[in-house]
Structure 1
Amino acid sequence: MNKSLTLIVFLVLSQQAFSQFSISGEIRPRYEFRNGYQSLSQNSSQFGSFTDQRTRINFDFKNNDYIFRVVMQDVRTWGSQSQLVNNDGSLTSIHEAWAEVLFTSKYSLRAGRQEIVYDDHRIFGNVGWAQQARSHDAAVAKYKTDNFKLEMGFAFNQDRPNSTDTYYSVSNSYKAFQYIWAHHARGDFKGSFLFLNNGIQAGTPTNYRTVYSQTTGVHFEYKKNAISSSINLYHQSGEHSDGSDINANLIGLDVDYKTGVKTSVFVGYEMMSGNDQVGPGNKNKAFTPFYGTNHKFNGYMDYFYVGNHINSVGLSDIYFGAKTAISKMNLYGALHIFASTGKVSSGSFPNTMSKALGEEVDLSLSYKVKNDVVLQCGYSQMFATDTMEALKGGNKNKINNWAWVMITFKPLFFQSKSEKNE
């Protein structure tokens, strides 16, 4: 018995001599007050109030041959289960479980459940704000040099093993995708190209097909001295799940200017094309940002493209604001001015409403309490128009606001010596 234990210890220690291993965690409870979040408050409705929590245990291993990562995750609302609960139901899951074989220093292949994040998260992001976040079951082939990266991803989804058909019945998910992403950095400039062939299951279990759309675009970044800027240009074509042809576009521009060492101001504009409610044509002009971290864009109250506003009248978003750091504290403030890009029906054909949707104010604060402990809070308020009310329902004259408080703990439980020394 003692010899066996000694052998195990020897093998572990010898493994650590040329590998890296760490165990880390996260606990992130967040309280939210919702009074017009995502949609305008109803006349008869009262505010919503709750606390939900994300808990994670992360296992990371790397040696000269491969990388291995597993993230166990539990997401729950405080009080959603009895104190004497005997099972977790579907609350606990595997957020990530992947391995990446390192063929050479340049070539590798990652397969398994993984987060896929590119550029500014506009088309592919991990949706880190959402407690459950986003991950994909996919294989990604990679090539990299000092200033160039090329990645190709593939996914094909099924809801269960089967022998007779490939119909996919999981809601709010894709059937398959293939993409290629290329990134080049040179001096103060970074540029990326993305092509995504995205397949959605259409039809019925006895008469189905996979409908594909294509998203093609570029992302550019430029940073020099006090100025940081970025540009997004994307075009979508192909077929929508309703059978219509897609002809949609996204244009985005963001400029940040440092006014001091820890203070900056920013201004930006984003346009996503949309469909007209009056006299629609035979093309679907509604842009879909697919798997992006959409909470990061178009206001923190998530009125647009966060489980809503898909295949709608599009969006124009002009925004500006400022951010600063004071000791351990970071402050952020922004104003968004929203409008539709498509025509909104007034209810009496062929009359239309104003395209103005309203303004949103976002304020947030982040404070580093201790190492690995961060306290955050925020407040947002929507000032909507009649057009927003026509699109979303509810009452624009009520106070539509949202507030939240969140504390995040990210401890590092264990780290191998070889990793510490690197």
Structure 2
Amino acid sequence: MKTRLFRLTALWLFSALCDSSMGGDHSGKTLVLNDAVPELVDPTVDIRLRYEYGDQEGLDPSHAATMRNRLGLLTREFGGVQAFVEYEGTLAADRDAYNPGNGNGPANRTVIADPESHEMNQAWLSYAAPSEFFSIKAGRQGVNLDDQRYVGTVGWRQNMQTLDAAALTLKPAEDWTVYYGYVWQVNRIFGSEAVAPLSTDFQGQSHLFNAKYEGLAIGTLTTYAYLLDLHNEAGDTTSSNSYGLRLAGDWIAGSNYLLEYAHQTDGAQNPLDYSANYARAEVSRDLVEGLNASVGYEYLGSDNGVGYQFPLATLHKFNGYADRFVNTPAGGLTDLYSTVATTVAGGIKLAMSYHHFWDDDLDLSFGNEVDLVVSKALTERVTVLAKGAAFQGENGQPDVNRATLEVDIVY
């Protein structure tokens, strides 16, 4: 039944893609009962068809052909009040052809963390004050803070990471934005049916503080404190307290920079005892029109055999697309990386990155990685993307190769 549904939906997507590319009119997505009834609700549709190949040395290759659908209803704002509900479902053409990483697939295959799942992805209610002094949002919601290094929705994976949370955003003065979030559950990318203890959802009482000041001539200054109380079937070893400072802005015309430092200790009921540092520096510059280059250095320290952790981050975005270091090694991680990005004829976007990895003392090389991304917007609503990653391991680290081809359709 699921295979038949997968094929029928794929056929519908193909017809929608053809209609869109032929100039079909999909401009009106507002739900209207009749001409006399005001427009009350905006439907939202986000569909992704993906094939991903993964091959880690020592494991069998994985082939994940999946389709993810998100269907939502967003109300118009009434007196500052707005609500949103969204269903998310992921289907796999062959669930035995890959390991989804949640304990429900063949353990001898390479992990591709896109399990089959069906769930209420988001369901929240918000209020924004007329003066924009404050806004609140409560319920199941996606949260992306800064560049998602600590808190993100993990947009690369089919199943979105969401938080059951209450959030308050303040704008007490010009150039100031203050965010506070209280989180009692983390709905992770592995789905609600995960059986592997490490992949199950988190419960607890976590506090997220983030304050931004944009009035400096040199850039935006951000301070943060993330006090994570995270418990799942594997225990409390991901609970931590992180305090940091971040400065990002324009360096000279056509150039940008980022400087960040943070300190992390064990938190809540974590039985581990550690105290580790984090640092990142990155600069980028437009070399010529349409060609940008960047270079960066990221340091994830360790202590007592525990590496600096980012349990709520969009981890795929950092330390290489091969996903070799989504879990920080016990001896920490140092990542020296560079990226070149451009747009060529036809609006095709290209980006290539190189990483070299060591432990936090630079004594042990873990290997190097090359990543390549190619994307093209076919229409306003349809984008195609191809991505590849090749990690060559050293000193006991296995080689990892990944390749992805996908189509994204958003209404």
Deviations 1:112-165 (CA, angstroms, capped at 9, x unpaired): 001111111110111100110210000001212552111111123499xxxxxx
Matching residue within 63, 67, 70 for 1:53: 67
Deviation at 1:80, TM superposition (A): 4.2
Q: Which residue does the alignment assign to 1:348?
A: none
Q: Look up the SS of the partner of 1:250 in the other structure.
A: strand
Deviation at 1:249, TM superposition (A): 1.4
Call closer, same or farther: CA 1:52–1:386 in 2, change over 3 Å.
same
1:30 aligns with 2:44: no
Give the whole-Å Cα distance in 2 for the aligned partners of 1:373 and 1:331: 17
Compare 373-382 and 58-67 and name the one that shifted more.
58-67
Q: Which residue does the alignment assign to 1:91?
A: 117
1:313 aligns with 2:338: no
1:175 aligns with 2:184: no
Compare 89-98 and 226-235 and name the one that shifted more.
89-98
Q: Which residue does the alignment assign to 1:334?
A: 353
Q: Which residue does the alignment assign to 1:407?
A: 407
Give the whole-Å Cα distance in 2 for the aligned partners of 1:370 and 1:210: 45
8 Å contact kept, 1:199–1:210: no
Q: Look up the SS of the partner of 1:295 in the other structure.
A: helix
8 Å contact kept, 1:364–1:378: yes
The 5 Å alignment of 1:3-402 reads 12-13=37-38, 16=39, 21-36=41-56, 41-42=57-58, 45-61=59-75, 62-80=77-95, 91-104=117-130, 105-144=132-171, 146-157=174-185, 171-186=200-215, 187=217, 189-201=219-231, 213-223=240-250, 224-239=252-267, 243-275=271-303, 283=304, 285-305=306-326, 308-309=327-328, 312-326=330-344, 327-341=346-360, 355-389=364-398, 396=399, 400-402=400-402
Deviations 1:214-263 (CA, angstroms, capped at 9, x unpaired): 11112221124110111221111244755232201110111110012211
Deviations 1:255-303 (CA, angstroms, capped at 9, x unpaired): 110012211011001010124xxxxxxx465211121111010000001
Q: Look up the SS of the partner of 1:200 in the other structure.
A: coil
8 Å contact kept, 2:354–2:368: yes
Give the whole-Å Cα distance in 2 for the aligned partners of 1:59 and 1:202: 31
8 Å contact kept, 1:303–1:309: no
Deviation at 1:60, TM superposition (A): 1.8
Call closer, same or farther: CA 1:285–1:48 in 2, change over 3 Å.
closer
Call closer, same or farther: CA 1:58–1:172 in 2, change over 3 Å.
closer
Q: Percent identity?
A: 20
8 Å contact kept, 2:305–2:331: no
Count of residue correspondences = 346
8 Å contact kept, 1:228–1:256: yes
Amino acid at match of 1:317: D
Amino acid at match of 2:355: H
Q: Which residue does the alignment assign to 1:84?
A: none
Call closer, same or farther: CA 1:131–1:90 in 2, change over 3 Å.
closer
The gaps in structure 1 that reach 5 residues or longer are 1-7, 82-88, 160-167, 276-282, 344-353, 390-395, 412-422
Call closer, same or farther: CA 1:380–1:9 in 2, change over 3 Å.
closer
Give the whole-Å Cα distance in 2 for the aligned partners of 1:211 and 1:30: 30
Deviation at 1:46, TM superposition (A): 3.7
Give the whole-Å Cα distance in 2 for the aligned partners of 1:211 and 1:120: 21
Amino acid at match of 1:378: K
8 Å contact kept, 1:374–1:407: yes
8 Å contact kept, 2:307–2:328: no
8 Å contact kept, 2:237–2:270: no
8 Å contact kept, 2:237–2:271: no
8 Å contact kept, 2:238–2:309: no
8 Å contact kept, 1:213–1:246: no
Give the whole-Å Cα distance in 1 for the aligned partners of 2:156 and 2:47: 13
Give the whole-Å Cα distance in 2 for the aligned partners of 1:46 and 1:214: 37
8 Å contact kept, 1:356–1:387: no
Deviation at 1:68, TM superposition (A): 1.5
Call closer, same or farther: CA 1:172–1:284 in 2, change over 3 Å.
farther
Amino acid at match of 1:341: D
TM-score by length of 2: 0.76
Give the whole-Å Cα distance in 2 for the aligned partners of 1:261 and 1:50: 38
8 Å contact kept, 2:164–2:186: no
Q: Which residue does the alignment assign to 1:280?
A: none
Q: Look up the SS of the partner of 2:316 in the other structure.
A: helix
Q: Look up the SS of the partner of 1:358 in the other structure.
A: strand
Q: Look up the SS of the partner of 2:229 in the other structure.
A: strand
Deviation at 1:72, TM superposition (A): 1.4
Over alpha carbons, which structure has the higher Rg?
1
Q: Look up the SS of the partner of 2:119 in the other structure.
A: strand
Deviation at 1:100, TM superposition (A): 0.7
8 Å contact kept, 1:239–1:246: no
Give the whole-Å Cα distance in 1 for the aligned partners of 2:305 and 2:392: 29
8 Å contact kept, 2:236–2:270: no
